[in-house]
Amino acid sequence: MIRLESFVSGAWNAGRGDGRPFVDPTTGEVLGKVDASGLDMASAIAYARDIGGPALRAMTFAERAALLRAVSDILAANRPRYNEIAIKNAGNTASDAAIDIEGGIGTLKVFSRLGDKLGAVQMLIEPGSDQLAKDDVFRAAHIWTTRPGVAIHINAFNFPSWGLWEKFAVAILAGVPVVAKPASPTAWLAHEMVRDVVAANALPPGALSLVCGTGEGLLDSVSGMDHIAFTGSHDTGAHLRRNPRVFEASPRLNIEADSINATILGPDVANGHDIDALFRREILRALSVKAGQMCTNIRRILVPQARAKEIVDALAADIAKLIIGNPADAEVRVGPLVHVQARDEAVDKIVALTREAGTAAGGGIPGQARDADPKRGAFLAPTLLAAKDADHLRAVHEIEVFGPVATAVPYRDLDHAIALALAGGGSLVASLFSDDPRVGQKVVSQIANAHGRVMTVDSTVGKAHTGHAIVMPQCVHGGPGRAGGGEELGGLRGLRFYMQRTAVQGSPGFLNTLRGTSAEIAL
């Protein structure tokens, strides 16, 4: 049986407890155990901070970019093995696995290129300066320098590769060492990836640590110069905020939580229009890719009231064609959830939603699954719910079913659609499918303040869009309110979390000297 270890204080260490089992969600078979009990987390954090931190801060952005490129090359060379793990442990189809694994590798490459552009410097400077005295002899400029702390990354189960490497890429480019804690149910993939990177000696000692297990005591020694980036549920995020040590030390804390994301079909889109087909295609992705287990996934489908029944019927017919089953089968579109407990929780939440919306497709455990037992495995049928009364919904705007589940909600006019989108209380992403620029302008201007990202699709964009649920490294990821209030990625914008912005006052000549040893960054 596989037993995952933690890489801390420069060495692989096994936990001292029995451990928590992780499984093949298709069959329920126990694959191994994960445990970090008894490990000295204070020493692990100190090692990363005191050994990894100075080594990274001594490097230039271009040198750190080379580290990211080396890591991406190591991971790329091992893709086939990672794919097998993702299918077996995470219930991913081959395309699901590619989103996670290729997404991680691709993000490393994007940030390595950004580091190359910053060049052989260690400091960033914002453009321009401000005159502070009557005579132009005293000005102020703003610089960014690396904070002398550690980055603790607590990741969700649904993206064991992408979640690990997208956070790692930004922190390392900024010059901050990383202690990563993957979610236990799918930690196997992260474990193997880090083991390969460690074996290749691709990073300075202390630059990357990995905690496989509960991570008890991980936050007990954080300081005010450290950084905690969390992806997961709203409840766990709230628990982190209340942690006594976090509250006392006030490290930087970034939370990306669950989100009741919405997509809107514009009132201008008629049946048979190209935009109509693109909209339906995106809904089908939401109900199939990674079995719906994406924090950015579509949960509410806002459609014109006059077309609601027609759209729901068409989507239900599309859903009926999806093949559910063993993700190792190339024809399967929908694999299992991460484990049966997640499946059972999803079923309970569907029941809560059906008090406000009828079931148009799915609704529970499927009757059959290709090459798998639907009850023994963690399978949930792709589920489309349909609300009739949009004005008295509560659960639809508050309950996220973390699986292939979405609710269609009819709107009367564009103002009503905007109000419904905002009822989510802050979301990671919203999307609009419309060919009318006036519709786009109104929607974006009125919902942007409640969303981290807004994707608009018209005929010009067509199939070229990257997808409602897909997070691109060039774009910020996060959202206000219920979504956690955090922000990560966004190209060089992501460096801000790990760097200190400082106003430097001095003579124009001195500020020009600083500018000559810095990379200019205009954000």
Query: Hey, which residues are catalytic here?
Result: 256, 295
| CA 306 from centre of chain | 35
Q: First-to-last CA distance in the chain?
A: 49
Alpha-carbon distance of 486 to 481, in angstroms, equals 9
| CA 240 from centre of chain | 18
Alpha-carbon distance of 168 to 132, in angstroms, equals 39
Which string of DSSP letters, residue by residue, matches 318-349? HHHTPPBB-TTSTT--B---SSHHHHHHHHHH
Alpha-carbon distance of 427 to 493, in angstroms, equals 20
Alpha-carbon distance of 250 to 485, in angstroms, equals 16
Tell me the two tokens of residue 168.
């790692």
Whether 44 and 209 have beta carbons less than 8 Å apart is answered as yes
How would you classify the pairing of strands 30-34 and 261-265? unpaired
DSSP, res 133: S
Place of tokens 């774009």: 475
Within 8 A by CB and 6+ apart from 175, the residues are 53, 56, 57, 59, 64, 122, 146, 498
Scored b (16 or more CB within 10 A) or e, 47-57 reads bbbebbbeebb
| CA 428 from centre of chain | 10
| Nearest by Cα to 184 from 168, 162, 220, 160 | 160
Question: Side-chain half-sphere of 377: how many Cα atoms within 13 Å?
Answer: 28
**386 strand-pairing partners:** 358, 408
The helix/strand count (H/E) of the chain reads as 16, 24
At 299 the three-state DSSP class reads: strand
Q: What share of the chain is helix, strand, coil (3-state, %, to 5)?
A: 40, 20, 35
* Sheet with 151-154: strands ordered across: 11-13, 6-8, 208-210, 178-181, 151-154, 227-231, 252-256
Cα angle for residues 505, 506, 507 (degrees, 5° grid)? 150
